[in-house]
Structure formats: C-alpha cells, structure tokens
C-alpha cells in the first residue's frame, strides 16, 4: 500500500470529523489487515512523483488505485477567490491536522460564516464552527485548530442548499446533531419547508424514506423557539450563490432564489432572477469533490474519476488496461460513506481475482523492487512498524489533555520519530 | 444509538448488509442476523441495503419492534461473525413479496 503521507488511513484519519470518534473505529479493522505478513506499507511515497505508475506496473502484477476525491469543485462565480473564501477541504484538513493544511488561516474573528452545500462535509464544517471548545477538547482535533476555535467570534452560520429540503443529501443523523448543540440553535424558516407536488411525490416513494425523516427533523427545528445562546445555524434552501463581493476580502454573498423544475427524482434548481444579499465574513464551499489525475492512468477530468468497468480501469476509448484497477471515490465519484466503499472494494477485488489467470504472470519484485527504487532517489519510506511508533507517540501526547491522540501535523515531526537525525 | 436487526430478516437472511459493514459487526444463526452493538459504529451503511428493511437505528425503531434491541444485544456476541454475503434462505423471495417489498 502506497500512501503519500507518513500516516495511513486517509479520510478516516483526515476526513472524518474529530467529534465522530466511532466513525474512526474502522482503523482497528485496517490495523488487523496491516498485520497480515503479506501486507507492506510504503508511506511517505507519492505515486506519480517518487515512483511512476509504469515502475509500479513493472514491480507488481496488478495496481489498484484508491486515491479518493482530493479536490473541491469550484463555484465558478465572480469573487470566488477573494480572501475569506475557502474550500471545505482546507478547513477539514486544518482541524484534522493534515500536514498540507495545518498552516491555513481562517479569520474566525468574523461573525457570519456561510457554507455553500449541504452534504455531510458541509455539515461537519458547520458543526465544528458551531461547537464550543468544551464540546471539542477531548477529541483528536488538532490543537492549533482548537486554540483558534477557542477565540472564534462566529455568531451566525448559514448552510446554503441549491435545491429544497426534500432533496438535501445529508443523512438524518448528521443533521439531527445540529439540533443538539450546547451553544448553538438551529433555525429553519417554515416557509422553506413548503414543498411542491413533485417533492411531495418523492417523499412518498420508497427511496424517499431518508428525505422524509429529514423533513420531520426540519419540521421539529422550525417549530423551536430561540434559547438565546451564543450561536445560530440557519438551514436555508433553494438558493445558489452568484457572486462574492467585498473590498479586499469577502464581505457579502449574493444569492439567487431557485425554483425546482422537472419530474420527481429529476428536479433541478433553476434561478428565478430574484437576488438577495447575505452578509458573509467567511465562506466555505462544499459542493462536490473530484479526484486528481496521476500520470500514467487514464483520467476523466469532467467527473474527476479514473474511468473503469467493474473496477477495471479503461482508456479513453473504453479499452481495458490490463492490471490497473480502481475502487472508492476515484472509481465512483464522491458518493456514499465508509461502508459503501467497503462494498465497492469487494467488487473491484472480485474483478481482480477473476483476472488473475490473464494477468502478466512473469516474476515481479513487488515491494522490494519498488522500495529500493524509491529510497535510491526519494524520501524515507515509512513502514507499518514505523507508523506504529508515530501512532504510539501521538496517543501519548494526547493523554495528558484527555484527548485520544494529539496528531503530529508536520511531516518532519513524524519523520524525526522514525529516523534518527544525522 | 444502537443499530438493530428486526424480525423481517427472519426467513430471508439476504445478508447484503454484511458487505457494507466496515467493522464486521454482523453475527448470525440459521434464521437471521444480529448486530453486535459493542462493535457497530452506527454509520448506517447497512440500513438501505436490506431488501426487506429489517435494519433500523434505535431512534427510528417502531414501538412494536423494540424487543429486538435486547435480542440483538444478547444473541450477537454468542453467534458466528458473518462477513461475506451468503445465499438467502430458500423462500426468501416469497417472504420478501409477502412483506410487501
């Protein structure tokens, strides 16, 4: 398993929100797999930079990509790059101590934050902004993020959805949590919950059971009275951002009211031309995710995935490339949760095992060959045994603070632990 | 909040749920599956995979199904772990139709 960071576990470590510790439990399953003597971790190695895909293909009989969806989709509106406008990816990486994002700055001195998008990542960002330090301090949130959040002056968070409440993509559980925060009220405008006949029809279909539950939770929130607490999160629907404005930094977002058009299950948001201006000192976009190309692998730039059939990677013409496979978000795009991706990996591995006889069966050096290649000209390869040293040190660092771990957020900090300074 | 397998599984045992469970928390006897809630992480991935809607989050459990909370808790730890999809029980399709799915 090749991993560009010295730490394994990808999104379970760097994506799952720190206040959802149960969702990090699959790490224990991964640890069990990693202890299989047939398994080798080659961490701190970037495929496409430190080792090429062709070199991997020369060293292994098959190569399976599980590189996920690393970048955000852009809004494509004027002002998107004003200071104060960020991707959810950056913020999530920051609070989770991802080395790429640990030095990002977010102006939490602002009072109004706007989040574009209503998926589970958007809700995570919202919840972390909304929670008090007491609600976060015993999680594995990065200390530097917790220190900044402690000084936060955010009072309002607006969670903006393009379509209506019946089409929202969050799961009921994630969303129920927003109604259970210590110092933040969730606010829903009852007018937003009025549905068109097509949306009502969607709720009545079997596939509409989650949406139906979401509507019940929203209805409950709409009926609540304010507790007069420090913060409020506004769940808002049928709105699309059309412009960010500000003098030198974002100060307001112009939103266009949408109506839904189309048949049930196929409704799309169409602008009505009616615009409203929303104050906005801090903006996060979370409207979808895309994979990143790796040299030597076909890439569908529009979908942000490696094109494949049943997990077998195909070229632009749809021709199979023997020995290359994909699983997870780089295969299907950014849908589904951890368990969905387990089923996806099973499907891909089933394809791979069915192909074994037809793959190039000549001898291949495997990790030994690649390890030599990498250490000849590249970074220090981090093995699973090395990772366990880093892991233990993180857990020890967290213990005095009552945290399950305090992550190392710089590559040098991690590498120093496994490599005596010379 | 625990996740619970209820009586709709009995006589079907489609086992689609086990393929999406990231922590392998399903256990089974000859009739049906049960969730070990000491292991389950409440991710909910299994809930939509069940062809007969046998799986619920505790909060969504209908009142007349609440006895399954204790049944899952008692039986799961004593039974074999089911981690791979198995053939459904004979008659599962007929039972599915009978249950209205």
Q: Of A289, A317, A335, which residue is a domain's last?
A: A289
Please give the Cα distance from A262 to B52 (Å, whole number).
Answer: 30
Instruction: Please return the burial class of B9, using the count of CB atoms within 10 Å of its CB with bins 0-12, 13-18 and 19+.
Output: buried
**Is A202 in the same domain as A311?**
no
Cβ pairs bridging A and B (under 8 Å): 46
Same domain, A413 and A342: yes
| Shortest Cα–Cα distance, A118 to chain B (Å) | 18
The closest CB to that of B22, out of A29, A171, A210, belongs to A29
Same domain flag for A312 and A250: no
In the prediction, which pLDDT does A136 show?
98
- CB-CB: which of B1, B22, B57 is closest to A26? B22
Tell which residue, B76, A23, A212, has the closest CA to residue B9: B76
Domain boundary residue, one of A289, A308, A323:
A289
A22 closest CB neighbour out of B21, B41, B60: B41
Instruction: Please judge whether B43 and A339 are an interchain contact, meaning their C-beta atoms are less than 8 angstroms apart.
Output: yes
Give the tens place of pLDDT for each residue, A15-56: 999 999 999 999 999 999 999 999 999 999 999 999 999 999
Interface of B with A in 32-91 (CB under 8 A): 39, 41-46, 48-49, 57, 60
Which SS3 state, helix, strand or coil, does residue A41 take? coil
A336 CA to chain B: closest CA distance, Å?
8
Q: If we measure between CA atoms, which residue out of A90, A89, A85, A118 comes closest to residue A251?
A: A85
Contact B43 A23 (CB under 8 A): yes
Q: Which residues 347-376 of A have a C-beta within 8 angstroms of B?
A: none
- Subunit contact A25:B24, Cβ cutoff 8 A: no
Hey, how many other C-beta atoms are within 10 angstroms of the C-beta on A268? 12
Residue A14 CB-half CA count within 13 A = 24
User: Do B43 and A338 lie within an 8 Å CB cutoff?
Assistant: yes
Q: pLDDT tens for residues B44-87?
A: 899 999 999 999 999 889 999 999 999 999 999 999 999 999 99
Number of domains in chain A: 2
CA A310 – CA A322 distance, rounded (Å): 13
Which candidate from A23, A28, A340 shows the least CB-CB separation from B20? A340
Beta bridge partners of A278: A253
Q: Which residue of A has its CA nearest to B58?
A: A173
The ipTM estimated for the assembled molecules is 0.85
User: With contacts defined as CB-CB under 8 Å, which chain A residues touch B22?
Assistant: 26, 29, 338-339, 342
Beta carbons of A337 and B44 less than 8 Å apart:
yes
Instruction: Note whether A53 and A63 are within 8 A (CB).
Output: yes
Residue A276's domain comprises: 71-289
A321 and A275 in a common domain: no
Q: Copy the structure tokens of residue A36.
A: 């299989």
Q: What is the pLDDT of residue A420?
A: 57
Q: How many separate helices (H) and strands (E) can be counted in chain A?
A: 15, 17
Q: Are residues A315 and A184 in the same domain?
A: no
Same domain, A188 and A228: yes
- The CA-atom distances, in angstroms, between A352 and each of A47, A319, B19 are 20, 16, 17
Tell me, yes or no, if B99 comes closer than 8 A to chain A by beta carbon: no
A231 and A85 both lie in a single domain: yes
Task: For residues A89 and A165, state if they share a domain.
Answer: yes
Exposure of A384 in the CB half-sphere (CA atoms within 13 A): 15
- Which pLDDT tens digit goes with each residue over B10-42? 999 999 999 999 999 999 999 999 999 999 999
Q: Which helix (H) or strand (E) holds A92?
A: helix A88-95
Residue of A250, A17, A4 whose CA lies nearest to A125: A17
CATH of region B3-88 = 3.30.70.20
Name the residue among A23, A343, A346 with its Cβ closest to that of B41: A23
pLDDT at A421: 45
Of A28, A213, A339, the CB nearest to B46: A339
3-state secondary structure of A251: coil
Write down the residue that tokens 């390869």 correspond to. A381
A13: nearest Cα among A402, A387, A417: A387
Question: For A29, how many CA atoms within 13 A lie in the half-sphere containing its CB?
Answer: 18
Q: Could you tell me if A89 and A71 are in contact, meaning their C-beta atoms sit under 8 angstroms apart? A: yes
Same domain, A300 and A277: no
Inter-residue contact A404 to A21 (CB < 8 Å): yes
Q: Is A28 on the interface with B (CB under 8 A)?
A: yes
A242 SS3 class: strand
What number of residues does chain A have?
Answer: 422
Q: Are A17 and A127 in contact (CB under 8 A)?
A: yes
pLDDT by 10s per residue, chain A, length 422: 999 999 999 999 999 999 999 999 999 999 999 999 999 999 999 999 999 999 999 999 999 999 999 999 999 999 999 999 999 999 999 999 999 999 999 999 999 999 999 998 999 999 999 999 999 999 999 999 999 999 999 999 999 999 999 998 788 888 889 999 999 999 999 999 999 999 999 998 877 778 888 999 999 999 999 999 999 999 999 999 999 999 999 999 999 999 999 999 999 999 999 999 999 999 999 999 999 999 999 999 999 999 999 999 999 999 999 999 999 999 999 988 888 999 999 999 999 999 999 998 889 999 888 877 787 667 889 999 999 999 999 999 999 999 999 999 999 999 999 975 44
Question: Where a domain ends, among A289, A310, A332?
Answer: A289
Q: Which residues of B touch A26 (CB under 8 A)?
A: 22-23, 41
CA distances from residue A240 to A96, A130, A253, A304 in whole angstroms, order as listed: 28, 22, 10, 23
Q: Burial of B97 by CB count in 10 Å (0-12 exposed, 13-18 middle, 19+ buried)?
A: exposed
∠ CA(A41), CA(A42), CA(A44), 5° rounding? 125
Asked if A38 and B56 touch (Cβ cutoff 8 Å), the reply is no
Same domain, A32 and A152: no
Ranges of each domain in chain B = 3-88
pLDDT for the residue A49: 92
| Cα A262 to Cα A268: distance, rounded to the nearest angstrom | 6
Q: What are phi and psi of A16, to 5 degrees?
A: -55, 135
Task: Indicate if A120 and A42 belong to the same structural domain.
Answer: no
Radius of gyration of the CA atoms of chain B, in A:
12
pLDDT at A422: 45
Same domain, A410 and A267: no
Rg (CA), chain A: 23
Interface mutation vs chain B, best among A12, A16, A25, most B CBs within 10 Å: A25
Angle between helices A411-418 and A384-398 (to 10 degrees): 110
Q: For residue B23, give how far its alpha carbon lies from the nearest alpha carbon of chain A (Å).
A: 6
Q: Got the DSSP string for A158-202?
A: EEE-SS-GGG--S-HHHHHGGGG-SSEEEEE-GGGG---HHHHHH
């Amino acid at each position: 398993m090749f991993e560009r960071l010295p730490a394994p576990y990808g999104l379970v470590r760097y994506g799952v929100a720190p206040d959802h510790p149960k969702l990090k439990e699959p790490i224990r399953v991964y640890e069990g797999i990693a202890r299989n003597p047939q398994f080798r971790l080659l961490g701190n190695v970037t495929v496409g930079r430190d080792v090429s895909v062709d070199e991997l293909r020369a060293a292994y009989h098959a190569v399976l990509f599980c590189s996920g969806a690393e970048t955000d989709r852009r809004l494509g509106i004027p002002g998107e790059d004003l200071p104060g406008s960020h991707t959810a990816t950056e913020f999530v990486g920051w609070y989770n101590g991802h080395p790429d994002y640990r030095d990002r700055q977010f102006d939490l001195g602002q009072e109004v934050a706007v989040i574009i998008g209503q998926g589970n990542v958007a809700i995570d960002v919202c919840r972390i902004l909304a929670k008090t330090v007491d609600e976060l301090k015993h999680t594995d949130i990065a200390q530097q993020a917790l220190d900044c959040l402690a000084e936060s002056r955010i009072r309002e968070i607006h969670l903006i959805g393009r379509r209506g409440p019946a089409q929202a993509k969050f799961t009921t559980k994630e969303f129920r949590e927003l109604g259970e925060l210590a110092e933040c009220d969730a606010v829903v405008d009852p007018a937003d919950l009025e549905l068109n006949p097509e949306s009502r029809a969607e709720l009545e279909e079997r596939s509409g059971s989650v949406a139906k539950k979401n509507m019940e939770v929203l209805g409950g929130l709409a009926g609540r009275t304010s507790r007069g607490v420090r913060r409020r999160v506004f769940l808002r629907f049928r709105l699309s951002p059309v412009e960010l404005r500000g003098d030198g930094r974002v100060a307001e977002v112009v939103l266009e009211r949408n109506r839904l058009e189309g048949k049930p299950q196929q409704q799309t948001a169409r602008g009505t031309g009616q615009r409203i201006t929303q104050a906005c000192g801090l903006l996060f976009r979370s409207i979808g995710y895309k994979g990143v190309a790796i040299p030597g692998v076909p890439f569908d730039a529009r979908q942000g995935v490696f094109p494949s059939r049943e997990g077998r990677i195909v070229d632009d013409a749809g021709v199979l490339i023997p020995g290359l496979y994909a699983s997870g978000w780089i295969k299907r795009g950014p849908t589904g949760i951890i368990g969905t991706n387990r089923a996806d990996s099973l499907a891909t591995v089933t394809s791979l095992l069915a192909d074994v006889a037809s793959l190039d069966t000549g001898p291949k050096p495997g990790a030994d060959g690649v390890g030599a290649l990498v250490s000849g000209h590249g970074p220090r390869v981090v093995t699973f045994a090395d990772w366990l040293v880093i892991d233990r040190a993180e857990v020890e660092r967290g213990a005095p603070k009552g945290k399950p771990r305090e992550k190392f957020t710089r590559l040098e900090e991690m590498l120093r632990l496994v490599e005596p300074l010379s | 909040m625990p996740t619970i397998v209820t009586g709709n599984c009995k006589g079907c045992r489609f086992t689609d749920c086990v393929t999406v469970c990231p922590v392998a928390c399903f256990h089974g006897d000859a009739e049906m599956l049960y969730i070990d809630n000491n292991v389950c992480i409440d991710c909910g991935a299994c809930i939509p995979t069940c062809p007969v809607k046998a799986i619920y989050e505790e909060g969504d459990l209908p009142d007349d199904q609440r006895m399954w909370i204790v049944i899952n808790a008692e039986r799961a730890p004593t039974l074999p772990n089911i981690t791979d999809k198995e053939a459904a029980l004979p008659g599962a399709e007929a039972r599915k139709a009978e249950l209205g799915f």
